[in-house]
Amino acid sequence: MALIKNREITEDSWVQLDDETPVPSEGGAIVSISRWRKDRVALSSRNAPIGVQLESDNGPEDVLDGLDRLDLIAVPFATFKDGRGYSTARLLRERHGFTGELRAVGNVLRDQLPLMERCGFDSFQYVGGTEALVALKAFKDIGAVYQTAADRRASAAALRNHPSQAFSNGTCG
C-alpha cells in the first residue's frame, strides 16, 4: 500500500504498533486509541513523535486530552460510504486546531483524495485499484469549490466577487 503525503508518494517513516509491542525509543510510533488511553502519560513523555490510530466509532473528543502532544492522528475509513472520518478531520483541524499529520487509513480510494484533503487530511494510506502515481492526478480534479473547508480554498463566489475581478464578471466591483 502506498503512502501519499502532501500530494507525493513517499516512504512511511512511522511504525504501526500493536498493543503488546514495546514502543521504540526513537522514530515515529502509532499506537491504538486504547493503548493511548491506557499509557498516555508515558507515551506523552517520550522524546520522539507519537501518533494514535482512531477506531471508526471514535471522534476528535477521544484525543482532546492529549492533542497538543500528538504528532499524527490516523482516521479510519472502514468503507467508502462511511463519512464519519471527514467530520472528524474537519473538527480536528478547524475547531480544535490540530496542526500535526492527519492520515486517512483503511478504504482510501482515488476519488476520495481531493475531498479528504479539503477536510484536512495531508496523508493517505492509499489502497485504491488505480496505481498510486496515477491516483495523484485526482488532486487536480476539482477546479472550483462552492464552500470553504479546512483547506481554506476560496469559494467560487468569493473569487467571482473579488476586487481583482471587477468588470470582468459584469459587475463594477
Q: Are residues 137 and 169 in the same domain?
A: no
Which residue would you say has higher pLDDT here, 135 or 154? 135
Q: What is the pLDDT of residue 173?
A: 46
CATH number for 54: 3.20.20.70
Q: What is the pLDDT of residues 113-142, one digit of tens each?
A: 999 999 999 999 998 788 888 888 887 877
Q: Are residues 81 and 163 in the same domain?
A: no
Q: Are residues 156 and 96 in the same domain?
A: no
Q: Are residues 114 and 164 in the same domain?
A: no
- Going by pLDDT thresholds of 50, 70 and 90, the confidence category of residue 60 is very high
**Mean per-residue pLDDT for 28-33?**
97
Residue 98 in grid coordinates:
490540530
Predicted confidence (pLDDT) at residue 172 exceeds the cutoff of 60: no
Q: What is the pLDDT of residue 163?
A: 65
Q: 26: phi > 0 → left, psi -120 to 50 → alpha, else beta; which?
A: beta
Which helix (H) or strand (E) element contains residue 87?
helix 84-90
Q: What is the pLDDT of residues 94-111, one digit of tens each?
A: 999 999 999 999 999 888
Q: Are residues 89 and 169 in the same domain?
A: no
Q: Are residues 50 and 124 in the same domain?
A: yes
Domain residues for 159? Answer: 143-173
Q: Are residues 48 and 90 in the same domain?
A: yes
Contacts of 159-165 with CB under 8 Å at 24 or more apart are none
Q: Are residues 117 and 157 in the same domain?
A: no
Burial of 6 per CB tally in 10 Å (0-12, 13-18, 19+): exposed
**Mean per-residue pLDDT for 140-160?**
75
C-alpha to C-alpha distance for 78 and 55, rounded to whole angstroms: 9
Q: Are residues 82 and 104 in the same domain?
A: yes
Which residue would you say has higher pLDDT here, 50 or 129? 50
* % of the chain exceeding 90 in pLDDT: 59
CB 110 within 8 A of CB 117: no
Q: Are residues 111 and 173 in the same domain?
A: no
Q: Are residues 114 and 169 in the same domain?
A: no
* Structural domain count, the chain: 2
Q: Are residues 77 and 161 in the same domain?
A: no
